[in-house]
Each structure stands twice: as structure tokens, then as C-alpha cells.
Amino acid sequence: MIGARRAFLALAILAAAVFLAPTAAPAGPLQYFDTIRIGGLWPLSGPHALVGKGYYKGARQAVEVVNDRGGLLHTPVELVAADTKGKATYLVSRALRLIEEEGVTALLGPGLVTHWRQLKITADMHHVPLVLTAGYRPMLRMKRRERSWVFSVYPDVASCAKVLFRHLARQKVRRIGLLVPTDEPYASAGLWVRAYAQERLFRVTVEKYGVNDADVRYQLAQFRDDGCQVVVAVGPRASGPMIAESFQGHDFPLAVFTPMLSDALLASAKGAGIRLLAVAPPLLLGESIPPTHPCAAPVMLFYRVLGQELRSMSIEETLAAGMGWDAAFMVFQAISLAGSPVRSAVRNMIEGRPTPYYGVMGIFRPDVRNHSRQLNRWLTVLEWRGGGWRSPRWVGTSG
């Protein structure tokens, strides 16, 4: 065990050099600045502070790693974090302050799934690169001449759905129950999930629920009567425990996407005695990630740098730290490759970088049409059992 741990640390040290090295020569002549500032917009106080501080910790550690290696373009990097308090009005006002007064090169945020649209509008209007750390939908170009400044590092609903349904199809599952909130943006996300399920020729039963409902027992009874083999739930993280508790007495598995994962959900699933499946990023493979995995280097570096701090984090805080880390490094690599922290140069390099970005949340390859494009084959379907994540033994009931 000690030998394996030492081997992991040795690989992590090697990973630091590989992960931080530029993947190509700078696109133009180097430009020098006193400090390169990156803005972070997360709820650092209030009811969402736990997750908000997770984003901040990940981004802060990424900045420290880069500065320990001499900064970017021989320039120190500074993370200027603003507390949004979990409120949309604070989010926009703080974003404008970072853009206009602090002169940040790029923005990272937000902390809440429901706030991505407000921040996207602000970034696009002021021509500032923004890497989203929370959201559900893919960042697709909807208009032919649209020039978006917004990218993402979260596993969006399209990528997660493709991975999950590919896995379920291999397990000979034919009928799926889809549990979708009536509230936005989750209702729209449910439409994406349903479309991908039908594309895979699954028979889909859709039931809706309110995010403030006490349970979903009626919906589960409908799924049982329709012979559903697996229930796929879409919705906010806060609804996860309620949904899991409602499964008491049902024998079909519950499948969720990354944004719904929380310690409370895992505890509720264990208490209800149900099988919980999740579409997971490489980060959740932890120190057991195979060395041949294309994301092994960033995952090993992440675990080495955050160290003991990770052991006290909830799963939602860990995932938030991973997204803060990836958002920061996506910007850092773009600055390094562009040879400049000028906003337009960074935006263009993220969109047109010569190689994919390999991170702890997966492999991202933004392009002109899709600014959240993820190589989804490197996401994994895992099962929570025995207090840890494992490969699923089987999926679906005999129904």
C-alpha cells in the first residue's frame, strides 16, 4: 500500500510538469504586464457558501501552482474573488466591478446553476472571456453570426446523457423513467435528456415534479406500472435527497448527473437501500485513476496539491473545487499559448486551441459551434455502494 502511494506521488510530480507545459508555441509575440488578474464570482457567504468556497479553493490552488512555477509569461497571476452571496443582483454588479475596475483578463463562475444566463449576458456584452463553473446546458452557437465569449468546464447534460444511455443500452435496458422538474433551467435540461434517450430508441416515461415537493412517490408508482427499469432524475442538488428517500420499497436504480451529486444524496441513497448510478468525471476516480487514462496527469496533480484538504470536503465541494481548478487552468493555458493576457487573444485561443484541454472534469475541445464541447467517452458511469464509487455490477430490473 505504501509502495502504491509513493508511486502515485511520483507520478503526480511528473504530472505537474506535463500538465503545466504549453502544448504549442505561443501564437504571437509575448506581451508583458505587471500582474495578470483573473476574476472569480462565487457565493462565499450565505446558504451556498460551502460549494462557493469549493470553487474558490480549486481556482486559488491553480493560481498557486502557476505562480510557484514563475507565473504566466514571466508575470505573477492574481485571483480576484468576489462574493456574490448567491444572489443574481450581486453577481452582475460584482462582475462589472471586476471587468471595469480590476481589469481582469477573464471571469470564472458562477456558483449556482440558475445564474449562468445573467453572467453570460454580462460577459458577452463586455467582451470578456468567461469560463462557466456551473450549468446544465451545452454552450452552442444558436445564431450564425453569434460570437460568444463564454465557455464551460462542467459536464453538461448533453455529454452526461450520451454517456449514461450508451451504458444503459449495453446493459439491455429498454424502458426508462425520466423525472424532470417543472422549474427552469431544469425543465429545458429534461428536454435534452429525453431527446437523447429517444435517439437511443429507449421507451421513455416522463413524470414531472416541483423542486419544493415533499416526495415523488406518485411518479415512482407510475414508473413501476409502466415497467421502467431505471429512473433518471434531472434537477437541482437540493432535490436529490428527497428523490432518493422516495425510492424506499422500489427495486429500480436511480441514475443522476454530476450537478445533482451531494453528500446528502449519497446518505439518503444508502438509507433507502437503493442503487445509485452517476455519470462521473475523472476527478471521482481519485487516486485509483489508471495511469493510462488521458486525464491521469491533472487528476494526480489535483490530489497532490489539495492533499489532506480534500479528505474533509463533501462531494459537492470537491466537484466545485475541480471545476474552479479546470476553469483557471483553461484560461492559463490559453494565455500561455496566445502569448498575451489580452481578452480577445485569450477568447480566440480557448476557441481555437490546437489541442484539447485535459482536466479533472474531463477533456474539453471547444470549437466555433460548441463552446462546451466535451469528449464524453472519458466520462464514467459509477455506482455508489459500500461508501465508495465502483463500476456498476448490473443495471436495471427484470421488469
Instruction: Please report, in tens digits, the pLDDT of each residue of the chain (399 residues total).
Output: 444 444 444 444 444 444 555 444 454 544 556 899 999 999 999 999 999 999 999 999 999 999 999 999 999 999 999 999 999 999 999 999 999 999 999 999 999 988 988 999 999 999 999 999 998 777 776 566 678 999 999 888 888 899 999 999 999 999 999 999 998 888 888 898 999 999 999 999 999 999 888 899 999 999 999 999 999 999 999 999 999 999 988 888 999 999 899 999 999 999 888 899 999 999 999 888 999 999 999 999 999 999 888 889 999 999 999 999 999 999 999 999 999 999 999 999 999 988 999 999 999 999 988 888 888 878 889 999 767 888 775 444 433
Question: Is the domain of 240 the same as that of 131?
Answer: no
CA distance 234 to 268: 17
* CATH number of the domain residue 269 falls in: 3.40.50.2300
For 273, left (φ over 0), alpha (ψ -120 to 50), or beta?
left
Assess if residue 395 is contained within a domain: no
Q: Could you tell me how far CA 398 lies from the centroid of its own chain?
A: 33
Assess if residue 397 is contained within a domain: no
Question: Is the domain of 117 the same as that of 58?
Answer: yes
Question: Is the domain of 15 the same as that of 45?
Answer: yes
Q: Provide DSSP, 83-99.
A: E-TT-HHHHHHHHHHHH
Q: How long is the chain?
A: 399
CA distance 158 to 287: 27
Assess if residue 287 is contained within a domain: no
Question: Is the domain of 180 the same as that of 264?
Answer: yes
Residue where the block lists cell 496566445:
338
Question: Is the domain of 199 the same as that of 59?
Answer: no
Cis peptide before 366 (omega within 30 of 0): no
Question: Is the domain of 163 the same as that of 149?
Answer: no
Sign of CA dihedral 16, 345, 138, 213: positive
Question: Is the domain of 55 the same as that of 107?
Answer: yes
Question: Is the domain of 129 the same as that of 171?
Answer: no
Question: Is the domain of 146 the same as that of 16?
Answer: yes
Q: Which domain range does residue 112 map to?
A: 2-155+292-368
Q: Are 41 and 106 in contact (CB under 8 A)?
A: no
Assess if residue 247 is contained within a domain: yes
Assess if residue 66 is contained within a domain: yes
Q: Is the entire prediction scored with pTM above 0.85? A: yes
Assess if residue 399 is contained within a domain: no
Question: Is the domain of 7 the same as that of 142?
Answer: yes
CA distance 90 to 82: 9
Number of domains in the chain: 2
Question: Is the domain of 211 the same as that of 321?
Answer: no
- 166 burial level (CB within 10 Å; 0-12, 13-18, 19+): middle
